[in-house]
């Protein structure tokens, strides 16, 4: 069930392809900005500035509204023309609504009440700070949103040299192998030439003697001491490997199980820079970091119902793995199904099916580990133990989680005592006793058996 | 030298014609081994599809498969909440204040929950009344997860739906409304203002309703006597902290007398302060926990107790009361001297189930103006009315009851005349029993309504006038259950829930403007001004006084004329089992009784003199177990057979004791069907009966955890002294440090050391202080430790083999002379071996062989001492030095660590431990059908503490000084960045201790209570001469033996 792929082996090869792909692809995008600026000019929306409008939209409206499709509030694409056509409402009505929706509802306006009831009587926040001009801008944006401006990032340029340095190692190695191969060949040729010269000069190369020699394996078999030594060495060698193999039993470093929902830490923690402890909030106060409850996911995913992270299309690597935008969107739908969220009505159906995640980090029962001790008290970064999670498409176990690994860190890590009144006295006394400036966790008692085993 | 001597191995050999002997000369076994039959049957063998090769293939394959599978780790699923409740953080415990009120135990408690599961019961320190959980309350959390609980309503054993039951009940109720037949409610004591109001409303709705309150173990006499004197059916309250002299006539107030909960106040008065402590005189027939704690214990027969009480009343009134023999007069004379001296600081309590005795006791306390006596705000924790119960059964028999609803009662088990009840219930048209467990009553009721556990219910309580508590659910109902009160509301056609109803009651009558949420958070609410108090505390008019004086005189005369011939049986309740409601709780079954130290049984206690007369025996057999004879008890024609016998030191001659709560069979797992049912002898709800005893054949195997009963004069284990010596002499006189020989000189043992000392002055250094004066031996700590540390239950057979797993035990010692100090003198007086006297003589000489032999026997009325012993966490621990794999090691904080995963089970440590506190896992106690207790089913495992490891087979375990709790306290402080205050550090036992005997803390904090206690003169370490330097210390027991 557990798969431990040898990532290192593949990474080089993958890296090579990736670098190549990037190298070629970068040139393809060079004309994009021009296209974008074209549309900007083409945007025709009365008086407003759609670029400014987009910014305002994202700041004020996007939490509850989407351009297409309902969210907490209705879709806003072409809202002005829709209102004008269907309800006969003008821009003044929109100004009034945005600045004080409750007031409009209270005034008994029929459409206002209709929409209020339709969206579960969720009152829209009043925006008295938005000027009419701002609202014009937003309306301009909703009428014809500018296409995404893709700034040709320096990322491509930056990554390539890093990757080539990795490849250059391979080239150097290859070149070395080639040189050695040629050396062998040359030696062989020199040897042949010398023999030919010798033969030509009539020198005897004592072939007969060589034929009479006992074959080396026979000589080896006859030398009992050598046999004994070899056997001992072989036994020791196999014992070494057997021990090594047995010691890895139960160590699941690199354990990368397939999860019921393909949750990408890379997208959440990496691309979107969501703080780890936003979702794993109990890591601050509890021994468990906690797998976030689905309602935490819904804090954002109520609005984010599709994946649009890759406007330029998925990379070759992602494509190879099938990580397309549609793929991710499908995973979001899985979440909706699990939490029982009906997208059409924007309501919870109440029929949920909890997600059965496969636990990646499994400490044995007899080892006590407390996240809050490390996260809140010691201020250890999550990545110290969990690795570059922000780069992990699929979560895997980064550290071996063995006792030796724990103990090593306790030996090397200083206790973070600044500003913590608890440590003041004990640190002053203990550091004096040990004659050090800074105490390690081990000196503080972090190696005592009972601190982790009870 | 040929000899014609014939050596024989068995008597049978002497018979030349014995064929078996002849066969055995030739063969190993007398009869043939049926190998031929087995292998000779060629047909069966050849018909088998599995031949030898196949068999080997299977073996090979399964071995290979097993070893391959072992290399693969299991896939562990993690399922988070869909919507996480705001207040729940996985891994962080929540505490809720609630109250238990099961009709027998009443207490305000805190419940610790983890991820929504209640896992531990703690004391509610906010509560002024009954804020401490006794052993049964501590264990009640396990009863929630009892796999034998009723999981839904049933009719005739078949599961039905609530609406079916409701429809039937409502139809019946409407049919009965206004008719001639009555509707009866037979319930436990609720002591609940809301339940009282609800039943009144129910009665108003259906007219013709009779509510009968029934206590399995009646306090009817105390209630009736109080009612006659003060006009309210309640019980007087006592504050033993205020008493300088406590005279108890068989009142087991440290046990379950009048609902219990008095130990906290009692213990406060028992710790010598400024040279003073209370004096406690106990007159009783059974050796009770209270008697064991008394300074002066006088064994008397129940009939003599009544006479003594009458005489005491007479003496205090300076009149003469006749009857009884002269020995009683001497006892009373002595008592009167003491009482006169103490005046209003004295209090007299009485546990005799006799209205006259209770009335006289109330009169004596009134007469003394006792400060500890409180009749103005009495207790309501017992309200049963035995006359009403009898009347109800008569009515049922006569067919005058149309519908019977029972809640919290089990009359088929607790009534002496259960058969009468059974025939009576057949004449009732509809009977519904609310019960959480299948029992004898649910077996005869037409409907069984599944009742929730108290941790799943709402409720309120008024345990003492003006002191209210709330019960709130801490977990959603595990099964399809509904409480009685909700059902009544449903049947009344109300759409309210009982919660709404309680809020109404509280809003209207109780809170008086205070905040409901605050009351619910605290779990308790003390009404500041109680208008009801003024009503009853009014002085009785002179007319009433005259009437009551006449009544008292009659009562005294009746008491003085008590006659008794033959043996008297005194029925009592054990600390572990109470009235038997929680008999299916394995923690309580395995809990050793504080006095006899026997678990998994009840038994007849008998004095040594009577035992010899009746030929009853106790003996230790070769495998170390305790065996006892069986006896037959006959009370008024009812016979209870096969009662195991324990010879109990201190038992009054001419009396026997037997405890309630055992002998349950219906609905119980077979392992838990222990003991005999004493309720069958509970005639007329009187705890004193005249009985005849007869020895019957056979021996009973006890599971007793302490086989040696006396201290043998080793005064350094339990040090004790008298108040007089304590006050007048130097500490080294009554608390000497033992001396050892160093370079041929006697030096204090504390000054000699085999090991280099380790510097423990930095950081925390935990110490546990145990005050032997405050410790009553109640055992709440034992169960608390069990619950906190996932200690397994091992069962009767294993306990008998001394494989009990309790990390904390409470040793009980008897003196072999009248007092422990005389034991010491006796030991000092021994001279030489005295071999001649031992072998040939009467063994009465002063040689050590005879002397120690005598000292193994406890005295007829011994002094008793309790001593809780857990791992002493020695700074120089003998266990640590012998562990070959370093599985047990020491910490800077003073705790002796035990790494289970490192332990290989050599048991060297247990052998080298001078305190014998290490426990070995002989078996896998979880997920093992051989140990079918709570750790063998998913439900029972819910009670496990997720912060403590569940140990596997083959490892040693022991008290960890609750390192999971101390570490948590430290971590919380680190996270908050603050210094830890004194009192924050707790262990399970110190937190559970309601008497303040156990105090835990950091001795490096010089301001902490435990540091002060360590500096006390009374402080000593157990077996100080061994030089282990323990981190647990005791306080010398002081007895107040001052003359009157």
Kindly state whether residue B145 falls inside one of the protein's structural domains: no
Question: Would you state the structure tokens that stand for residue B582, as one six-digit string?
Answer: 């929680």
Average pLDDT, integer, range B39-57:
76
pLDDT grade for B185, boundaries at 50, 70 and 90 = very high
pLDDT grade for B452, boundaries at 50, 70 and 90 = very high
| pLDDT surpasses 60 at B529 | no
- Chain B residues with CB inside 8 Å of A372's CB? 971, 975
Interface contact A290, partner B, CB < 8 A: yes
Phi-psi region of A175 (alpha: psi -120 to 50; beta: other; left: phi over 0): alpha
pLDDT of residue B545: 56
- First-last CA distance in chain A: 31
The answer to whether residues B893 and A445 touch, using CB atoms and an 8 Å cutoff, is: yes
pLDDT of residue B700: 94
SS3 B392: helix
For the domain that residue B236 is a member of, what is the CATH number? 3.40.228.10
Are A373 and B971 an interchain contact pair (Cβ–Cβ within 8 Å)?
yes
| pLDDT surpasses 50 at B899 | yes
- Chain B residues with CB inside 8 Å of A258's CB? none
Interface contact B84, partner A, CB < 8 A: yes
Long-range contacts of residues B81-88, Cβ cutoff 8 Å, at least 24 apart:
B81/A293, B81/A294, B81/A295, B81/A354, B82/A293, B82/A294, B82/A295, B82/A338, B82/A339, B82/A340, B82/A352, B82/A354, B83/A293, B83/A294, B83/A295, B83/A352, B84/A293, B84/A295, B84/A296, B85/B116, B88/B115, B88/B116
Average pLDDT, integer, range B591-614:
93
| Cα dihedral B235, B239, B244, B245 in deg (nearest 10) | 20
Nearest chain A residue to B114 by CA: give it.
A286
Q: Which residue has the tokens 């599995």?
A: B50
Mind telling me how many Å the CA of B904 is from chain A's nearest CA? 15
The angle at the Cα of A379, spanning A373 to A383, to the nearest 5 degrees, equals 100
Question: What are the extents of the domains in chain A?
Answer: 44-143, 219-247, 265-401, 402-454
| pLDDT surpasses 90 at B154 | yes
* Cα–Cα dist B800/B804, whole Å: 8
Give the total number of structural domains in chain B. Answer: 4
Interface contact B758, partner A, CB < 8 A: no
Q: What is the pTM of this model?
A: 0.83
pLDDT of residue A65: 81
Are A362 and B77 an interchain contact pair (Cβ–Cβ within 8 Å)?
no
Report the CATH architecture of A44-143: Orthogonal Bundle (1.10)
Q: Are residues B860 and B758 in the same domain?
A: yes
| pLDDT surpasses 80 at B649 | yes
Are A445 and B892 an interchain contact pair (Cβ–Cβ within 8 Å)?
yes
Mind telling me how many Å the CA of A125 is from chain B's nearest CA? 25
Residues of chain A scoring pLDDT < 50? 1-45, 148-166
Residue-wise pLDDT tens digits, A184-209: 999 999 999 998 888 888 777 665 55
pLDDT of residue B221: 92
- Chain B residues with CB inside 8 Å of A449's CB? 887, 889, 897, 899, 902
* Cα–Cα dist A423/B763, whole Å: 9
Q: Are residues B214 and B247 in the same domain?
A: no
Mind telling me how many Å the CA of B805 is from chain A's nearest CA? 16
Q: Are residues B517 and B370 in the same domain?
A: no
Interface contact A431, partner B, CB < 8 A: no
Interface contact A434, partner B, CB < 8 A: no
pLDDT of residue B849: 87
The angle at the Cα of B480, spanning B475 to B481, to the nearest 5 degrees, equals 70
Kindly state whether residue B126 falls inside one of the protein's structural domains: no
Q: Are residues B454 and B486 in the same domain?
A: yes
Interface contact A430, partner B, CB < 8 A: yes
Are A356 and B80 an interchain contact pair (Cβ–Cβ within 8 Å)?
no
Lowest mean pLDDT segment, chosen from A213-227, B162-176, B659-673, B884-898: A213-227
From the number of C-beta atoms within 10 Å of its C-beta (0-12, 13-18, 19+), residue B94 rates as middle
Question: Would you state the structure tokens that stand for residue A300, as one six-digit string?
Answer: 């954002």
Look at residues B675, B704, B733 and tell me which one is the last residue of a structural domain: B704
Question: Which of B84, B791, B956 should we substitute to test contact with A (largest number of A Cβ atoms within 10 Å)?
Answer: B84
The angle at the Cα of B798, spanning B797 to B799, to the nearest 5 degrees, equals 95
Interface contact A245, partner B, CB < 8 A: no
Question: Would you state the structure tokens that stand for residue B443, as one six-digit string?
Answer: 């077996």
- Chain B residues with CB inside 8 Å of A422's CB? 970, 973-974, 976-980
pLDDT of residue A159: 37
Percent of all residues in chain B with a pLDDT value above 70, rounded to a whole number = 97
Mind telling me how many Å the CA of B801 is from chain A's nearest CA? 27
Domain residues for B328? 231-377
Kindly state whether residue B138 falls inside one of the protein's structural domains: no
Are B83 and A365 an interchain contact pair (Cβ–Cβ within 8 Å)?
no
Mind telling me how many Å the CA of B926 is from chain A's nearest CA? 14
Kindly state whether residue B130 falls inside one of the protein's structural domains: no
Residue-wise pLDDT tens digits, B675-711: 999 999 998 899 999 999 999 999 999 999 998 888 8
* Cα–Cα dist B281/B249, whole Å: 9
Average pLDDT, integer, range B110-135:
92
Q: Are residues B761 and B888 in the same domain?
A: yes
Interface contact B68, partner A, CB < 8 A: no
Q: Cα–Cα distances in Å, from A360 out to A242, A253, A287?
A: 26, 10, 16
Interface contact B950, partner A, CB < 8 A: yes
How are beta strands B447-450 and B604-606 bridged, if at all?
A: unpaired
Kindly state whether residue B38 falls inside one of the protein's structural domains: no
* Cα–Cα dist A54/A133, whole Å: 13
Q: Are residues B419 and B434 in the same domain?
A: yes
Residue-wise pLDDT tens digits, B275-319: 889 999 999 999 999 999 999 999 999 999 999 999 999 888 888
What DSSP assignment string belongs to B745-766? EEEEGGG--SS------SS--E
Look at residues B377, B404, B424 and tell me which one is the last residue of a structural domain: B377
Q: Are residues B408 and B423 in the same domain?
A: yes
* Cα–Cα dist A208/A178, whole Å: 37
Question: Which of B74, B77, B79, B89 should we substitute to test contact with A (largest number of A Cβ atoms within 10 Å)?
Answer: B89
- Chain A residues with CB inside 8 Å of B71's CB? 249
- Chain A residues with CB inside 8 Å of B971's CB? 370, 372-373, 377
Neighbours of A132 (CB within 10 A): 14
- First-last CA distance in chain B: 81
Are B949 and A454 an interchain contact pair (Cβ–Cβ within 8 Å)?
yes
Kindly state whether residue B500 falls inside one of the protein's structural domains: yes
SS3 A358: strand
Kindly state whether residue B94 falls inside one of the protein's structural domains: no
Residue-wise pLDDT tens digits, B383-436: 999 999 999 999 999 999 999 999 999 999 999 988 999 999 999 999 999 999
The answer to whether residues B696 and B642 touch, using CB atoms and an 8 Å cutoff, is: yes
For the domain that residue B724 is a member of, what is the CATH number? 3.30.70.20
Interface contact B566, partner A, CB < 8 A: no
Are A359 and B77 an interchain contact pair (Cβ–Cβ within 8 Å)?
yes
Average pLDDT, integer, range B1011-1021:
93
Interface contact B2, partner A, CB < 8 A: no
Kindly state whether residue B981 falls inside one of the protein's structural domains: yes
Question: Which of B68, B69, B72, B83 should we substitute to test contact with A (largest number of A Cβ atoms within 10 Å)?
Answer: B83
Q: Are residues B240 and B366 in the same domain?
A: yes
Residue-wise pLDDT tens digits, B809-854: 999 999 988 888 888 888 888 888 888 888 888 888 788 888 888 8
For the domain that residue B638 is a member of, what is the CATH number? 2.40.40.20
Q: Are residues B993 and B930 in the same domain?
A: yes
Q: Are residues B263 and B297 in the same domain?
A: yes
Are B92 and A373 an interchain contact pair (Cβ–Cβ within 8 Å)?
no
Nearest chain A residue to B899 by CA: give it.
A453
pLDDT of residue A21: 43
- Chain A residues with CB inside 8 Å of B82's CB? 293-295, 338-340, 352, 354
Nearest chain B residue to A247 by CA: give it.
B71
Mind telling me how many Å the CA of B135 is from chain A's nearest CA? 25
């Amino acid at each position: 069930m557990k798969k431990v792929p040898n990532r290192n082996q593949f990474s080089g090869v993958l890296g090579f392809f990736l670098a190549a792909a990037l190298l070629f692809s970068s040139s393809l995008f060079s004309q994009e900005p021009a296209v974008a600026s074209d549309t900007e000019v083409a945007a025709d929306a009365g008086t407003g500035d759609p670029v400014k409008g987009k910014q305002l939209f994202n700041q004020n409206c996007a939490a509850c509204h989407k351009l297409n499709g309902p969210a907490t509030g209705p879709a806003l694409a072409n809202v002005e023309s829709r209102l004008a056509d269907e309800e006969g409402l003008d821009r003044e009505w929109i100004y009034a609504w945005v600045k004080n929706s409750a007031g409009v509802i209270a005034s008994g306006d029929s459409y206002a009440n209709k929409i209020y009831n339709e969206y579960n009587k969720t009152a829209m926040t009043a925006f008295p700070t938005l000027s009419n001009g701002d609202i014009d801008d937003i309306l301009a944006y909703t009428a014809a949103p500018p296409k995404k401006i893709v700034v040709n990032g320096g990322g491509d340029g930056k990554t390539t040299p890093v990757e080539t340095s990795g490849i250059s190692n391979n080239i150097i190695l290859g070149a070395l192998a080639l040189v050695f191969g040629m050396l062998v060949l040359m030696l062989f040729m020199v040897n042949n030439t010398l023999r030919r010269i010798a033969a030509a000069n009539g020198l005897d190369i004592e072939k007969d003697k060589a034929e009479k020699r006992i074959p080396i394996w026979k000589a080896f078999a006859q030398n009992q001491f050598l046999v004994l030594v070899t056997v001992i060495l072989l036994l020791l060698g196999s014992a070494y490997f057997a021990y090594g193999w047995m010691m890895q039993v139960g160590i699941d470093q690199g354990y990368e199980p397939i999860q019921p929902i393909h949750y990408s830490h890379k997208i959440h923690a990496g691309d979107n820079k969501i703080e780890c402890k936003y979702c794993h909030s109990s890591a601050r106060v509890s021994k468990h970091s906690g797998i976030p409850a689905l309602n935490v996911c819904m804090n954002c995913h109520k609005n984010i119902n599709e994946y649009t992270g890759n406007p330029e299309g998925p990379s070759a690597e992602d494509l190879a793995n099938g990580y397309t935008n549609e793929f991710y969107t499908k995973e979001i739908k899985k979440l909706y199904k699990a939490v029982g969220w009906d997208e059409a009505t924007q309501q919870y159906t109440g029929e949920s099916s909890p997600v059965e995640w496969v636990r990646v980090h499994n400490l044995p029962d007899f080892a006590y580990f407390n996240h809050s001790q490390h996260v809140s008290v010691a201020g250890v970064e999550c990545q110290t133990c969990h690795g570059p999670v922000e780069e992990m498409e699929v979560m895997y176990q980064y550290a071996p989680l063995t006792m030796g690994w724990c103990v090593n860190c306790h030996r090397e890590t200083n206790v973070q005592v600044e500003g913590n009144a608890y440590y003041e006295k004990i640190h002053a006394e203990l550091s004096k006793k040990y004659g050090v400036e800074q105490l390690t966790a081990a000196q503080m008692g972090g190696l005592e058996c009972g601190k982790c085993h009870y | 030298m040929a000899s014609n001597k014939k050596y024989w191995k068995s008597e049978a050999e002497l018979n030349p014609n014995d064929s078996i002997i002849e066969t055995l000369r030739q063969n190993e076994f007398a009869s043939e081994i049926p190998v031929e039959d087995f292998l000779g049957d060629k047909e069966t063998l050849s018909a088998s599809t599995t031949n030898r090769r196949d068999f080997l293939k299977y073996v090979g394959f399964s071995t290979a498969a097993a070893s391959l599978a072992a290399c693969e780790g299991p896939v562990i699923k993690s399922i988070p909440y869909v919507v996480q409740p705001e207040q729940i953080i996985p891994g962080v415990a929540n505490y809720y204040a609630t109250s238990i009120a099961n009709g027998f135990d009443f207490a305000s408690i805190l419940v610790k929950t983890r991820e929504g599961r209640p896992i531990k019961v703690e004391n509610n320190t906010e509560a002024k009344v009954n804020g401490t959980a006794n052993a049964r309350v501590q264990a009640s959390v396990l009863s929630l997860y009892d796999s034998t609980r009723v999981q839904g309503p049933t009719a005739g054993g078949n599961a039905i739906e609530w609406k079916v039951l409701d429809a039937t009940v409502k139809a019946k109720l409407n049919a009965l409304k206004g008719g001639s037949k009555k509707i009866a409610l037979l319930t436990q004591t609720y002591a609940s203002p809301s339940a009282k109001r609800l039943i009144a409303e129910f009665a108003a709705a259906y007219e013709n309703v009779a509510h009968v309150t029934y206590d399995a173990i009646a306090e009817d006499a105390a209630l009736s006597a109080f009612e006659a004197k003060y006009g309210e059916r309640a019980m007087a309250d006592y504050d033993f902290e205020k008493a300088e002299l406590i005279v108890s006539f068989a009142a087991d107030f440290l046990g379950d007398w009048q609902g219990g909960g008095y130990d906290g106040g009692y213990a406060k008065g028992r710790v010598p302060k400024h040279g003073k402590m209370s004096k406690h005189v106990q007159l009783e027939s059974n050796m009770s926990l209270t008697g064991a704690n008394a300074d002066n214990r006088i064994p008397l027969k129940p009939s003599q107790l009544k006479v003594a009480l009458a005489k005491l009343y007479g003496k205090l009134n300076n009149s003469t009361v006749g009857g009884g023999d002269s020995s009683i007069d001497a006892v009373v004379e002595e008592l009167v001297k003491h009482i006169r001296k103490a005046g209003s600081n004295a209090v007299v309590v009485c546990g005799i189930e006799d209205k006259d005795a209770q009335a006289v006791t109330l009169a004596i306390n009134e007469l003394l103006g006792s400060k500890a006596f409180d009749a103005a705000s009495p207790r309501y924790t017992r309200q049963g009315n035995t006359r009403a119960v009898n009347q109800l059964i008569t009515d049922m028999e006569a067919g005058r009851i149309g519908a019977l609803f029972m809640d919290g009662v089990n009359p088929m088990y607790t009534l002496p005349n259960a058969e009468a009840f059974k025939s009576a219930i057949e004449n009732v048209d509809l009977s519904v029993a609310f019960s959480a467990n299948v029992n004898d009553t649910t077996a005869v009721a037409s409907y069984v309504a599944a009742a929730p556990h108290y941790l799943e219910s709402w409720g309120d309580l008024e345990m003492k006038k003006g002191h209210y508590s709330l019960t709130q659910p801490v977990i959603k109902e595990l099964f399809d259950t509904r409480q009685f009160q909700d059902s009544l509301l449903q049947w009344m056609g109300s759409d309210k829930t009982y919660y709404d109803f309680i809020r109404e009651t509280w809003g209207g009558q109780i809170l008086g403007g205070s905040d409901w949420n605050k009351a619910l958070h605290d779990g308790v609410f003390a009404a500041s001004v109680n208008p009801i108090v003024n009503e009853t505390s009014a002085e009785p008019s002179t007319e009433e006084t005259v009437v009551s004086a006449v009544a008292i005189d009659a009562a005294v005369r009746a008491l003085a004329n008590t006659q008794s011939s033959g043996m008297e049986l005194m029925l009592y309740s054990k600390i572990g089992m109470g009235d038997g409601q929680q008999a299916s709780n394995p923690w309580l079954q395995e809990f050793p009784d504080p006095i006899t130290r026997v678990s998994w049984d009840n038994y007849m206690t008998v004095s040594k003199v009577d035992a010899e007369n009746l030929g009853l025996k106790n003996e230790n057999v070769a495998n170390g177990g305790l065996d006892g004879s069986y006896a037959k008890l006959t009370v008024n024609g009812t016979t209870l057979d096969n009662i195991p016998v324990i010879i109990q030191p201190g038992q009054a001659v001419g009396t026997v004791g037997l405890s309630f709560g055992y002998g349950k069979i219906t609905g119980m797992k077979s392992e838990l069907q222990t003991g005999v049912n004493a309720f069958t002898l509970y005639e007329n709800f009187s705890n004193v009966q005249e009985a005849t005893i007869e020895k019957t054949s056979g021996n009973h195997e006890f599971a007793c955890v302490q086989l040696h009963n006396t201290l043998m004069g080793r005064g350094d284990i339990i040090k004790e002294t008298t108040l007089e010596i304590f006050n007048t002499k130097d500490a080294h006189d009554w608390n000497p440090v033992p001396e050892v020989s160093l370079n041929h000189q006697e030096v204090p043992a504390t000054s000699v050391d085999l090991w280099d000392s380790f510097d423990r002055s930095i950081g925390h250094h935990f110490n546990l202080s145990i005050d032997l004066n405050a410790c009553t031996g109640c055992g709440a700590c034992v169960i608390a430790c069990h619950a906190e540390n996932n200690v397994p239950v091992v069962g009767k057979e294993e306990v008998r083999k001394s494989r009990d797993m309790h990390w904390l035990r409470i040793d009980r010692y008897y003196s072999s002379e009248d007092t422990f100090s005389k034991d010491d003198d006796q030991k000092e007086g021994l001279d030489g071996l005295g071999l001649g006297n031992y072998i040939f003589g009467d063994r009465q000489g002063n040689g050590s062989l005879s002397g120690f032999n005598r000292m193994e026997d406890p005295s007829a009325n011994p002094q008793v001492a309790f001593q809780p012993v857990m791992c002493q966490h020695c700074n120089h621990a003998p266990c640590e030095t012998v562990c070959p794999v370093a599985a047990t090691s020491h910490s800077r904080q003073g705790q002796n660590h035990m790494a289970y995963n490192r332990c290989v089970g050599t048991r060297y440590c247990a052998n080298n431990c001078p305190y014998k506190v290490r426990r070995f896992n002989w078996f896998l106690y979880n997920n093992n059908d051989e140990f079918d207790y709570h750790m063998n089913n998913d439900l029972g495992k819910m009670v496990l503490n997720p912060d403590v490891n569940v140990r596997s087979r083959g490892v040693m375990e022991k008290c960890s000084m609750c390192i999971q709790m101390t570490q948590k306290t430290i971590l919380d402080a680190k996270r908050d960045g603050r210094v830890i205050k004194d009192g924050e550090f707790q262990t399970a036992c110190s937190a559970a201790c309601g008497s303040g005997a156990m105090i835990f803390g950091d001795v490096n904090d010089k301001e902490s209570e435990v540091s002060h206690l360590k500096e006390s003169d009374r402080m000593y370490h157990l077996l100080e001469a061994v030089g282990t330097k323990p981190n647990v210390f005791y306080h010398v027991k002081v007895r107040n033996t001052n003359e009157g």
